[in-house]
Amino acid sequence: MTLKHTLKTALIGLTTNRSRSLLTILGIVIGITAIMLVVSLGAGAQALILGQVQGLGTNTIAVIPGREPTGPSDVSALYSDSLKIKDITALQNKANVPDLKVVMPTVFGAGTAAYQANVYQVTIFGATEYLAQIFDLKTNNGDFFTSDDVLSRGDGVVIGSKVVDNLFGNDDPIGQKINVKGKSFKVVGTLPPTGGGSLFNFDAMILMPYTTAQDYLLGIKYFNRVIIQTYTDAQVPATAVDIQKTLEDSHNITDSTKDDFTVQTQQDLAARLSTITSALTWFLVAVASIALFVGGVGIMNIMLVSVTERTREIGLRKALGATDKDILTQFLLEAVMLTAIGGIVGIILGAGLSFIIAVGLSQGLGVNWTFVFPWSGAAMGLGVSALIGLIFGGYPASQASKKSPIEALRYE
Amino acid sequence: MTNIIEVKDLKKSYYDSEEPTHALSGVTFSVRKGEFVAIMGPSGSGKSTLLHLLGLLDIPTSGEYFFDGKNISNFSGDELALLRNKKLGFVFQSFNLLARTSVLDNVKLPLSYSDVPESEWEEKAKKAVIAVGLGERMHHEPSELSGGEKQRVAIARALVNDPDLIFADEPTGNLDSKSGKNVMSIIQRLNEEEGKTIILITHETSTAEHSERIIRIMDGVIESDTKVKNRLSIDSDYVK
């Protein structure tokens, strides 16, 4: 029997029991839909997170004090004051880090800001004049502080949109004095809302020169984070190594496992976040696969019933010259077609649902969630559903092919 | 004339329960090419078992079976399937047509397992359907046909691959007498006009008298093997 005709025969076999075929593939449809949904939403979440991380610029490197704990007894917090101004000077030396474009020490802390009777809980963020450039910030009123302000511990601050709303309401904040931790500061600029989805939320921040923040507000001599930019993305890995060596020299460390700082590139961070979202996605896929397995068992059950019901047909086909292989192929193809159709329906349904969810998320939550059609998930879904047909259809099909023609013809 | 069937001491036992059942206990006979043989016997006599063995649907416990001069004892399942497809046609008491499948597609079924190219299926199937007088009903489904018509579809299906030998297992058993006679006339015509060898299983003497020779089976052995003296002619009782 030609494959084309076997296909036709299998299709006829399925359509004669249309409602049963539909119910049978439901399990596969649900399973594949779930997998598609998880993979598509996982890819969307990954794209969102990576988009935000890379929004900082993939040529950015961060140095944070302390090292990643290697165990519960590793008290990395001990080194939280390890980054000092001499490190910045060392990093700025072209002989140490040739590809360094900008280095910006930052400090942060919490505090309360007050203007007249209004009080608001804020994050104090101390940095340099490069702040606007590195984080791609623009004021909607006024200007950023300058390098002179950084040197002279100036009292000019830039405030986020929520700080403006809570302290000033509809009044113009530019030039006004606000009180933070008992010290008086002058508002020189304001930021537009950055949106809720951003990784760095500047809305509730007060930005000021790090020198001012260190001396007047936080009372510290170290930095919470040093941000470095290279000229190109390609310079990042080599520069990360240069930074590590420079800081080890500056801290007199010879064994790099004892480093009291961590160099983190945006690329590392992106890769790490990708790994986490991927792991989560695959975990959910594994859970959704249970539905597929149950669907497969349903297929096997129905195929066994179908083989018993069609015993006479099998006997007749054999009497008319069908070989065991012909019968096996016919029933196997029926099962594979069932599951493949279920797979295709599931792929369309899953993609459609995740598209709706993507639109809902970006409009409802205001985040920049893009719909990702998971080609790999679709290909895998189709492959897996066909495979389920082969596996769970295999036993019923072999039962069918083993029927003796006379037993089959005698069957009432 | 050569023998299309030669069986020697053919035996078949079933071992379903602890005691073996001897359905056939040594049967020896031969059938010439073009002969019309009726096998008669009461139920349980072994005539169905004999048909299954002769029709290559079952394998004998012992004895030899030469089909068309070839000893088929060593044939594989696939080789037997090929022989059934090319050389044999079956007509069953209960028709065994595929439901929800048109007359034409039912008749095409044996072709789908043959090496006949698909382009010729339509023509061959139509020819067979016309030959049994159902040219007007080609696209009907079995549920829309009378019993006699269903059996004629089954005959067309048995004919479509131009077999040498047609087995008819109680072909009139489920039919009223008029349709039964009609079906028997078609079968006899196939024998006399097309030279097909026919092996007919029946328990009705009137049906058996369409044949040239009657083999009576009783308790798994041949009781008698006689020529039919007053053979019915094709048109003697043909009712259109």
What whole-number distance in Å separates Cα of residue B11 and Cα of residue B9?
6
Q: Are A211 and A52 in contact (CB under 8 A)?
A: no
CA B188 to chain CA mean position, Å = 12
* φ, ψ at A300 (rounded to 5°): -60, -45
Nearest Cα residue to A181 out of A218, A128, A142 = A218
Tokens of A392: 């769970």
CA closest to A405 among chain B residues:
B57
Residue A171's pLDDT band (cuts 50, 70, 90): confident
Set of chain A residues whose Cβ sits within 8 Å of the Cβ of B113: 1, 317, 320-323, 326
* pLDDT on residue A317: 93
Residue A407 has pLDDT above 80, yes or no: no
Residue A6's pLDDT band (cuts 50, 70, 90): confident
Residue B151's pLDDT band (cuts 50, 70, 90): very high
Nearest CB partner across the interface for B52, out of A312, A325, A406: A406
Average pLDDT across chain A, whole number: 86
DSSP-assigned letter for residue A193: -
Taking CA atoms, A127 is separated from A107, A142, A227, B40, in Å, by 7, 18, 10, 109
Nearest Cα residue to B187 out of B2, B46, B1, B38 = B38
pLDDT digit string, tens, across residues A84-110: 889 999 998 888 899 999 999 999 888
What whole-number distance in Å separates Cα of residue A195 and Cα of residue A201?
8
Nearest CB partner across the interface for B85, out of A12, A321, A409: A321
Residue ranges of domains in chain B: 34-48+80-214+221-227
**Helix boundaries (H) for A56-138:** 85-92, 131-135
Tokens of A54: 């890379």
What is the number of other CB atoms lying within 10 angstroms of the CB of residue A371? Answer: 18
Give the residue-averaged pLDDT of A172-200: 82
Least confident range from A197-201, A244-248, A323-327, B150-154: namely: A197-201
* pLDDT on residue A75: 57
Least confident range from A64-78, A117-131, A168-182, A234-248: namely: A64-78
| Inter-chain contacts counted by CB atoms under 8 A, chains A and B | 64
B37-65 burial, b at 16+ Cβ within 10 Å, e below that, comes to bbbbbeeebbbbbbbbbbbbbbebbebeb
What whole-number distance in Å separates Cα of residue B53 and Cα of residue B34?
19
* pLDDT on residue A395: 93
Residue B74 has pLDDT above 90, yes or no: no
Give the residue-averaged pLDDT of A154-183: 90
Average pLDDT across chain B, whole number: 90
Residue B123 has pLDDT above 50, yes or no: yes
3-state secondary structure of A264: strand
CATH number of B34-48+80-214+221-227: 3.40.50.300
Nearest CB partner across the interface for A316, out of B77, B86, B96: B96
- Yes or no, beta carbons of B109 and A319 under 8 Å apart: no
pTM attached to this predicted model: 0.72
Residue A21's pLDDT band (cuts 50, 70, 90): confident
B191-216 burial, b at 16+ Cβ within 10 Å, e below that, comes to bbeeebbbbbbbeeeebbbbbbbbbb
Q: Are A189 and A142 in contact (CB under 8 A)?
A: yes
Q: What is the interface pTM, i.e. ipTM, of the complex?
A: 0.91
pLDDT digit string, tens, across residues A208-260: 999 999 988 888 889 998 999 999 888 888 999 999 999 999 888 888 888 88
Residue A76's pLDDT band (cuts 50, 70, 90): low
* CA dihedral sign of residues B201, B203, B207, B213: positive
CA A210 to chain CA mean position, Å = 32
Residue B174 touches partner A, C-beta closer than 8 Å: no
Residue B236 has pLDDT above 70, yes or no: no
pLDDT digit string, tens, across residues A326-366: 999 999 998 999 899 999 999 999 999 999 988 888 887 76
Chosen for mutation from B84, B116, B167, B169 (greatest number of chain A CBs closer than 10 Å) is: B84
